[in-house]
Amino acid sequence: MSQTYSVSTKTLLDLAERYRKRGDLESAICVWKNILLYDPYNVDATENLYNTMGVLYLLRGKPHCEAVLSAAWTSDGRNIVVVGSDNTLSIWGYPSGHLKAVFDTQDSIITSFDVNPRAPLIAVGLRNGEILIYDYLGYRKRTLRGHNAEVNVVAWDLGGRRLASCDSEGRLIIWTSTRKIQCDIYSYGDTIAKLKWSRRGKYLLGCTKRGIINIWNPKTGRTLYRFDLNADIYSVDWAPHTEQIVFSDSNCEVGILDLRHVSKYILGRHICVIPYVFWTDNNRIISVSWDGVVRIWDPNCRKSLYEMLIDHGPIVGASMSRSGRYLALAQLSSNVILVDFRNRRASLIFRFEGDIICNVGWSPRSEKLLVLSHYGKLGILNIAENRVENIFTTCISPITSLDLALGAGCIILGYADGRVALYDLSAGSLIREEKIFENSVSSISFNRHKSIFAVSSGLDKICLVDLALRVLYSKTLPVVGINVVRFCPTGRQILIGTSQGDVIILDGSNLSIISRASSLRGSILDASWNKDGSRFVITTRSGYLEIWDANSGKPRKTYDIRKCRISCVDWNKKINFIALGTLDGRVYVWDIDRASIYAHFDSHSYCVTDIAWSPDGAKLASCGSDGKVIVYNLIKKTYRTKILGQPVCSLSWIEGERCLLCGCKNGDVVVVDV
C-alpha cells in the first residue's frame, strides 16, 4: 500500500530502520510506538510492531491513565519529563505543552528516575533490578544490568558523565558514560535511601535507612567517611565550595558534617519534622519544617539569622531556585508559596483548586517554576513576569471496560468520564461516540442475539444501547455501586453485581427486575455464567466463590478460598472449570466437580484485571495491571507472556482466530497474536 509521510514521520521511520539493522529492536519499538502517537494509522509503524512484537495496534492511547508521581525539567529547559503511576514516562514540550514522546516499554514497575543535567538522557530504575537509559531526542533505549534487587535510587553526577544506582539490598554501582561498571560497592546490607553527588563530583554521599551516612570516592569505590547519626535522615545537601554537608533528621535537628575535621555540629532544632534543607551558593542554609517554618542559618557563625512562618497548611514540597533567591513551597492545601529571600517576603502565587500538588521544580535555564498536581495538571509560572504561562493536563480519561461485538465487527469501549465509543475492528477507526453517564462506565456486556450492549455506571444506572449508541432502555436501580454486568448466553437475562453485595437478575429486553438477593460475603467483584445460563458464579471481596441458581436466584454452593483474594472470574463454556484471577497476581483453575484447584500459576506481578477462556474452552488467557497478557497451557502447566507496557483492563478472544483483543487503561487497543 502506498503511503504519504510528513517529513517528521519519514525521518522517524528511517531512524527506526537504522536501529533495526543494528539489531537494536528495543529502540526501534520505541520509535514505532511514538510514530503512532502522531500518525495513528501509519501502516509501516503498525506492521513493524506486529512483525516484531506480535501485537497489532488498533488504537494508540495517550499517557497518563492514572495519577502522576513526579516531574522534572530537561537539561535545556525546553521539555518536561513526567512519570506516572501507570508505569509511563512522557515528554512534554515547553512552552507549548504538546506531547512529544512516550516511553512505555518497561518490563517492570518504575521505582526511581533522574534527568541528566547535560545530555538528553533519562535514567529509570525498575523493580526487577534493571536500569533503562532513554535518549528522548533519538528515542533510543539502553538497558543496564547489574542489580539483582529493586533499584530504589538513581542519580547522575553534575557533569552528566557518571550514573550512580543503588538497590534494596544495599548494593551501589557507579556506571560510566559507556555503560560499564566503574565501581561496585556494598553498603553492609543496609538499604540506601538517598544518593547525593558533591558539586564537583569528587565525593558520593549515601544515606541508609538506619541513619548512617557513607561518603565514597566514586573513582575507586573506597569508603572515605562514615557517620552514624542514630536517627532517620530526611534531607541532605552539599556545601557549594567546601567539604561540608548539611542534614536534617528525625530528632528535628539541623546539623553540619565537616569532612575536613571529621566532625558533626548541630545548628539547632525545629518543633516539627524537617523534610527539606538547602545550602545555597551565597553560603546560607535554609531549613523547611512540616509546619511551615522556614529558617535561615549562617553556617560560619552556626546560628539562626531569622525565620519566616508560612500559613495555610503543612509543606509537602520544596524547591530552591538556581540563583538562591527564591524558594518554592507546595502546601497540602494546594497552594504554592514563593519565598523571596532578598525582600524577606512570602506570598501566595498559585493554587490548584480541588487537587493535591505532588511536585514543584525550577527550570535549569530561567526562573520559571513547574507545578504538578496528583491528577496530572501541570502549570508553568513565570516568576520574573509574575504570570502563569501555561496550564495543561498530562492525564487522560482511562478505559474502564471493553467488549467485542461478535458478528458486527466492532468494539465498544467505556471510559471513566462516562463516554462510550464504538470502533471498527478491522480499521481501528472511530464509528461514533456518546456520553452516556455523568460518572464512570463500570461494565459492558454484548448480547450477540440482538446486537445490543448492556452498559452500567459506577453508581446505580444501567442502559441498553444499540450499535448506533442509541439508548433503548435506561433504568436506575435501588443500589449503589454497580461493579459487573453480564448477559446470559441466551441473551434473555442480565446479571448485576454491586459493591453492596446485591445480586440482581434483569429481563434482557426491558430491564425489569426478575429477582434480587444479597450475598452475605460482601462486595461482588466479578461474575460469569455457565454454558446454558442455568447457573452463574460470583466472586466477593472477602475471598468466597459462590455458585448461584439462575432460576431461583439463590446460591447453591459456596467455596471458601479466601487465601486467593479473587479479583476476576470466568466459567469455561465446555467443561466444568472456573478460572480465577487474584489481587496478588496469581491465576487458579477451579475444578467444580472435584471442588479443588486443578492448576495454579504465579504469573502476574500485580492484580489480575481480567481472565477469559477461549470459545472452544481449550485455552485460557489473563491480563493484569502489570501490563502483561498471558496465555496458559493447562496440560503442560506452562504459560507464555506478552508485555504491552500499559495496565491492561480487559480482554476478549476473537472467535475463530488465535488472537486476543486487549484494552489498556491509557487507551491502547491491541490485537495480540497468541
Q: Where are the alpha helices (DSSP H) in 286-416?
A: none
pLDDT tens, 403-421?
A: 988 777 899 999 999 999 9
Cell of 51: 512483525
Strand partners, 55: 672
Is residue 605 very low, low, confident or very high in pLDDT (cuts 50, 70, 90)? confident
pLDDT digits (tens, 9 = 90+) for 271-298: 999 999 999 999 999 999 999 999 999 9
CB 627 within 8 A of CB 648: yes
Q: What is the pLDDT of residues 560-576, one digit of tens each?
A: 766 678 899 999 999 99
pLDDT of the residue at 540: 83
CA distance 560 to 546: 9
Q: Is the pTM of this model over 0.85?
A: yes
Q: Which residues of 198-208 are buried (b: 16+ CB within 10 A; e: fewer)?
A: beeeebbbbbb
Residue type, 217: N
pLDDT of residue 408: 78
Q: Between the CA of residue 668 and those of 40, 155, 350, 594, what are the distances in Å? A: 11, 32, 34, 40
b/e per residue, 233-259, with b = 16+ CB within 10 A? bbbbbbbeeebbbbbbbebbbbbbbeb
C-alpha angle 138-139-141 in degrees, rounded to nearest 5: 115
Determine whether 301 is exposed, middle or buried from the number of CB atoms within 10 Å of its CB (0-12, 13-18, 19+): exposed
Is residue 656 pLDDT above 70, yes or no? no
Task: Determine the pLDDT at residue 547.
Answer: 92
Mean pLDDT, rounded, of the chain: 91
* 592, 547 contact by CB (below 8 A): yes
Checking if the pLDDT of 5 tops 50, the result is no
51 three-class SS: helix
pLDDT digits (tens, 9 = 90+) for 169-185: 889 999 998 888 888 88
- Tell me the pLDDT tens digit for each residue of 525-543: 999 999 999 999 998 877 7
pLDDT > 70? residue 1:
no
Is residue 593 classed as helix, strand or coil in its secondary structure? Answer: coil
Per DSSP, what are the bridge partners of residue 401? 414
C-alpha to C-alpha distance for 37 and 539, rounded to whole angstroms? 38
Residue 552, by phi and psi: left (phi above 0), alpha (psi -120 to 50) or beta? alpha
Q: Could you write out the three-class secondary structure of 279-310?
A: ECCCCCEEEECCCCEEEEEECCCCEEEEEEEC
Tell me what the mean pLDDT of segment 23-47 comes to. Answer: 93
The type of residue at 154 is V
Per-residue pLDDT at 6: 47
